[in-house]
Amino acid sequence: MEAPRQGGNSLMRALFADHSAFLDEMERRARHVQRQLREQKNTALILGAGVSQSVKLPSWDRLLARATFLLTNIGNADPFYGPGCKDDPHNARLYNSLNQVFNGTDALEVAEYIDLVLSKYGSQRRGALLPLGSGDSDERVKGLVRYCLYDRPVFSVAEHVGRDTTLWMTARLAARRFYVERGQQKNRSVITYNYDNLLEAVAGSSDFLAETGTPLEVLSLFDEADPPPLGTLRRLNVFHPHGFIDLCTPNRQESQSVVLSEKSFYGMEQKNYSWSNFLLARAIYDDVCLFIGFSGNDYNFRRIMKNLDDVRPDGEEPHRFLVVTIDELVFQVLRMYADISGQHAGDYDAPALEPRHLEGMDEHVRRRILSYLYQKEIYWKTKGVLPIWTTIADTPGLIEGLGEDAG
């Protein structure tokens, strides 16, 4: 089997066409991950918001922006949802305006404000748009997060999840490499820091079974209870350390609360022997770990990384890998050069790179991007994490390749 390549019309290859050594290194790393996932019995797939973003669920920042708007707006419309809203320039301007309000404020601090408002004033504060009932603070926070993730009664996998999305390809990878068979003595699990259960819904759907031919018992685990006994030949364990909200099945059991605010994050960190911390610690020290959907800049990813050191013996190959997209970094560099040259930078606010963004790109810009990537690598490598750089558009193809058998 050929090494995984990043899409038939790869933006990575277009962006770094004159830097073949860098592209060759990314393919070498992908082949290494292929081998590790095939040969090692203990493996963990660790997921961040980018996986669910591929089917239009909000990022962490956008979730907080929307929650802030809903709790403080006196109007009678929620601009974040509705016909055509996902492509509405007004939506983007509103999000950017809210970002300006909290510019320089840590995202966890913003989440703490949201939690305090709900705790002290309830959901009717200043004519808030979303009534969340009279439950306790944890219930109101979870209700707000649920609405900000998806404001419909039920998320339809068949309607929203294409087979070319990062979510679908991640589910395929999990079904191929991270399930546990009856009688196997292996540590294999999926740890997701997303509240939603879209990965489980995809892996358990009839369309997924028809395409992959891989029947699975898919379990969502969100507390310290032991997984139930195996009921089928194959079981996919999906752990939710930050809480579980079922967007696909009405009235299903969920976690009592979600980790959202500064207080809840720090409280979880301080419990050294908690289920969630033990789950992560065991995985990152004992298993081959593949991180997908983390920006590398968000608080939770840095929380995971900050206590790590590269403790591998000399000559031992890396066992922690990060699939990380460069789209945001590229736009930051493009905006910087546009500001310097006096050009209008509005075209560089798109959420994902497109071929048009690469047209006429100066070689200095490409070298600047590579320089930033290498600087980030230096930090992550000291933590024993090896990044595989890609783009949002190329991520599904890359993940699909990681699940194949290397030749």
pLDDT tens, 26-66? 999 999 999 999 888 889 999 999 999 999 898 887 888 78
Same domain, 87 and 20: no
Q: pTM surpassing 0.75?
A: yes
Residues 129 and 45 occupy one common structural domain: no
How confident is the model at residue 350, as a pLDDT? 60
Same domain, 302 and 207: yes
Q: Tell me which residue of 194, 152, 165 sits closest to 63, measured CA to CA.
A: 194
Q: Residue 114's closest CA among 101, 99, 125?
A: 125
User: How many domains does one find in the chain?
Assistant: 2
pLDDT tens string 279-301: 888 888 888 999 999 887 777 77
86 and 133 fall within a common domain:
yes
Tokens standing for 277?
A: 């911390």
For residue 304, the one-letter residue type is I
90 and 171 co-located in one domain: no
Q: Return contacts of 374-379, CB within 8 angstroms, 24+ apart.
A: 376/296
Answer yes or no: do 322 and 175 share one domain: yes
Same domain, 139 and 272: no
Confidence (pLDDT) at 8: 47
Q: What is the pLDDT of residue 83?
A: 42
Domain endpoint, select from 97, 124, 149: 149
Q: Do residues 119 and 173 both lie within one domain?
A: no
Give the pairing type, strands 385-390 and 320-325. parallel
CB 216 within 8 A of CB 206: no
Could you tell me if residue 154 is inside a domain? no
pLDDT in the model for residue 286: 84
Q: Which residues pair with 236 in a beta bridge?
A: 218
Q: CB-based contacts of 13: which residues, under 8 Å, 6+ apart?
A: 6, 23
Quick one: pLDDT at residue 85?
46
Same domain, 74 and 221: no
Same domain? 98 vs 85: yes
* Mean pLDDT split into 10-residue runs, the chain, 407 residues: 53 90 93 90 92 90 79 55 48 55 66 75 52 70 87 89 94 91 81 95 92 86 68 82 92 87 76 77 87 83 71 65 92 80 54 84 91 90 89 94 77
Q: Which two tokens stand for residue 293?
A: 């959907």
Question: Where among 103, 127, 149 does a domain terminate?
Answer: 149
Spell 274-297 as b/e; 16+ CB within 10 A means b. Answer: eebeebbeebbeebbbbbbbbbbe
Residue 137, token pair as written in the block: 């603070």
On whether both 193 and 274 belong to a single domain, the answer is yes
The predicted structure's pLDDT at residue 325: 93
Mean pLDDT, the chain, integer: 80
Domain-located, residue 263? yes
Instruction: Supply the range of the domain harboring residue 184.
Output: 11-55+161-402
Q: 48, 288 in Cβ contact below 8 A?
A: no
Three-state SS at 255: coil
Name the domain boundary from 92, 123, 149.
149
